[in-house]
Structure 1
Amino acid sequence: MRKRILIVGAGPGGIAAVRRLRDRADSRLELLLITREGVSEFLPGTIATVLGEAPAAHWRRPVRLRGVQVLAADVQQASGEGVVLTDGRTLEADAVIAAPGLHLDLQAVPPHPRRFVFWSPSTAEAARQAIARLEAGHLVVVISGLPYRCPPAPYSLALQLAAFYRSRQRDVQLTLTTPEEAPLTGLGPEVTDFLLQACAAAGVAVQVRRTPDWSASTEDTLVFTDGSRLSYDLALIVPPHTRAPLLDSLGDNGVLVSVNEQGETTVPGLFVVGDATRTLLPRTAGVATAQGLTAADAVLDRLGLARYEGPHLPAPECYIGHGNGRYSRITIRFPEGLPPAGRPVIQLEGPSPELADGFARVFAEWQALRTENGR
């Protein structure tokens, strides 16, 4: 009998894992990919959605992969022996690779007409009209807490908003607040200085060490846990990120899940990849892809179908929009191996219009990986 592997999530980690399993084991495995509504969402499309450049539907695609069964469902609980779906069904498996990402706790921020809580294309459209209508005043981009997915993206959002209002000659002041000691310190001072200088040049004020206290905040004033206050006319909020509910049964404390080099948790046969994992790597699509490949190889080795030869080294690229068609790119490589033994080598490029082609290429590759043969 063929062994059955369940893959949960159609983000970069889940797609990389299921394609690797299929390509290396061919017909020797039964592969079932479980994803909500049977679709995948291109998360970097969030900013384009909120700026009105493309609707949320533009960044969603049905997942259709040769040799892979796709199940449109939500998973309630995962183990190394299978999953329990939210409709009560149980699916058994010989191994499970979960790539659920981090859960957006949209309800953690009390609702108000001046506040918009989002961090995906599907949750961003509600803010689009409010951004377009704002003629003057103070707009605040708020990072609610740590960790959050795609760390450079809030800075990209603020920079593109500044260009948006500047091109329309509107008197809108922009501030970004973050709980971080400084932007993206994990990538080194060069990236921190680059982001701070880009924000300063665009007129975006950055306030660090600011964690919002939503219980004390009012309809026009943000109150932070250190007692500081910030008035606003419109607030765009990156919500708190929590652990995906399907991983709640794991014993780790906190948002992130501990895994070994191969991505396996303390539960035998349950692998977790991507943003949900506790590692020294940045939360990027390139890292999730490498982790998905590694977990797939470990599963194949466990089943005696292929030899595990060590972890895949990630090669992430992060694009930062500056508005007016200009992008910067942060490229990260690990020539000496994974941290802590290996230190990342970081290259900064831009901003320039030419790098916009790179962002378009990433989206085209994302589509091709999820919908083979264009169908």
Structure 2
Amino acid sequence: MALWRIRATVDDRPGYLAVLTASLALRGVNILTVQVHTTEAGALDDFLVDAPDRLTSADLVAAVERGRGRDCWVARSEARGLVDQPTRALGLASRLVRDPDALGEVLRTLLGADAVTWRPALGQSRPQAGVETMRLADPAGGSYEVLRAAPGFTPAEYARAQALVDLAANVERRTSEQVTLVLPDGAELVVRPAVADDLPAVAALHSRCSVRSLRQRYLGAASPSQRRLRRLLEPARGVTLLAVAGGFDGTPERVVAMANLLADGAVGELSLLVEEDWQRRGVGGALTRRLVAYAGRSGCAALVAHAYADNLGLLRVLQRVGRPGPVESDGDLITVTLPLPGAGAATGWTGVQPAEKTSADPADQDPGGPAPVRSRAAGTA
């Protein structure tokens, strides 16, 4: 017996696929897997079959045509073809998460392509069946050109390939936004944007924080629910930064601080939560500086932060990153406004690359701690 791949177009009508499979069965062909690709010309059926050694490619084409199939393509296959496409695509996606630079090889493997080339020109060819050249838009600019002499690409293959291109772009973007922060005491933390998968680690951070820290962060409210934390991690407008310890030399990672910026028009609201063991070490000030830079780049005119009146550390941190306006009082609560003159220009984002390191300002070691503050918008999440 020998493994073959067969592709053929069949009218998308009841019973037509059964006629084709019956025709193959009469020749002793065992169908191992089948995928159906919807196209404008009909249903394109992709088979992996085990056929008797006596059958040639011409015999298989003849069997398909007798089964009312057309535009048949036949080629010998290998045992690796037995892996179903969803499992194969997930495995390739996992590889991209670890190494986004492997995108070209991943596309070649996924599609069985002859060549994959990046082009500076923008554009994406229209997904259609039968073409030999696929052009995929690169979110970072340019496009990927994928060549395969036969069989022609299908719309489903376009969709799979574009999903992997988008995944690689997202991984690269996240990596480029990640920096290593060196604290004044020599400790190192990784600062990066939060994602939904960080929910367990952020929940663990809350469980380790004291009642006092949670009270200052959420203004007396209890520790937030999982649903609320999930919304804080990926706000609709704004950004959440995490400070992560560990991950070096095989040590487990641990989120030790979370900083939120929620935007509402021209005003952004700032909030911080820092684990006790990492307070008074410059973490809060360093995260605040990055949120201020992000807010300026995003066009915010000002930032506001809310805290209890006895939280003097809040004012100290904001004074170090800008020039706060008047402090407004409402009972035992205060609101601090930090104007951002020349938003988007004066506070331009520095864009430190992953391989580099940035140092926290020694002045950020506030003797009163990095002053957890709370965003009212976050409190309503």
TM range (shorter): under 0.3
Structure 1 or 2, whichever has the larger Rg, is 2
Question: Which protein, 1 or 2, shows the higher relative CO under an 8 Å CA cutoff with sep ≥ 6?
Answer: 1
TM-score normalised according to structure 1 size: 0.24
TM-score normalised according to structure 2 size: 0.24
